[in-house]
Amino acid sequence: MPALDETFAAGNELVRLNGRRIIDEDVKDTDVLLVRSITRVDASLLENSKVRFVGSATIGIDHLDTQWMSANNIQWANAPGCNADAAAQYTLAMMMLACARLNKDFLQQSVGVIGRGNVGSRLVRLLQALGMSVVACDPPLQDMGQADLVSMAEACGQNIVSLHVPLTHDGPCPTQHMFNQQQMSKLPNGTLLVNAARGGIVDAGALFGELANKRLHAALDVWPDEPYVVCELLDQVVVATPHVAGSSVQGKRNGTYMIYQSFRQKFPAETPALDILAPQSPTAGILDFSADHSLQEVLHQLIQASCPVARDDQAIRSLIDRSPGAQRVQIDSLRSHYPRRHEFTSWAFRGVASPIASTLNRLGFISA
Nearest Cα to Cα of residue 176 among 187, 165, 192: 165
Contacts of 96 (CB under 8 A, 6+ apart): 106, 299, 300, 303, 304, 309
CATH tag for 285-367 (out of 3.30.465.10, 2.40.37.10, 3.30.1370.170, 3.20.20.80): 3.30.1370.170
- Give me the half-sphere count of Cα atoms (radius 13 Å) on the Cβ side of residue 60: 23
> pLDDT band at 275, cuts 50/70/90?
low
- pLDDT higher than threshold 60 for residue 198: yes
- pLDDT higher than threshold 80 for residue 273: no
Catalytic center residues: 198, 226, 243
Amino acid (1-letter code) at residue 209: G
Q: What is the pTM of this model?
A: 0.89
**Residue 303 CB: number of other CB atoms within 10 A?**
24
> Taking the domains of the chain in order of start, what are their residue ranges?
24-78+248-270, 84-240, 285-367
> pLDDT band at 147, cuts 50/70/90?
confident
β-strands 347-350, 328-330 pairing: unpaired
C-alpha distance across the termini of the chain, in Å: 31
pLDDT at 241: 98
| CATH code linked to domain 24-78+248-270 | 3.40.50.720
> pLDDT band at 280, cuts 50/70/90?
low
Query: What is the distance between the alpha carbons of residues 87 and 92, in angstroms, rounded to a whole number?
Result: 9
pLDDT at 59: 83
Q: Does the fold of domain 285-367 match that of domain 24-78+248-270?
A: no
- pLDDT higher than threshold 90 for residue 3: no
84-240: CATH superfamily: NAD(P)-binding Rossmann-like Domain (3.40.50.720)
pLDDT at 2: 83
DSSP 268: G
Q: DSSP for 196-207, please give it.
A: -S-GGGB-HHHH
Average pLDDT of the residues in 96-108:
97
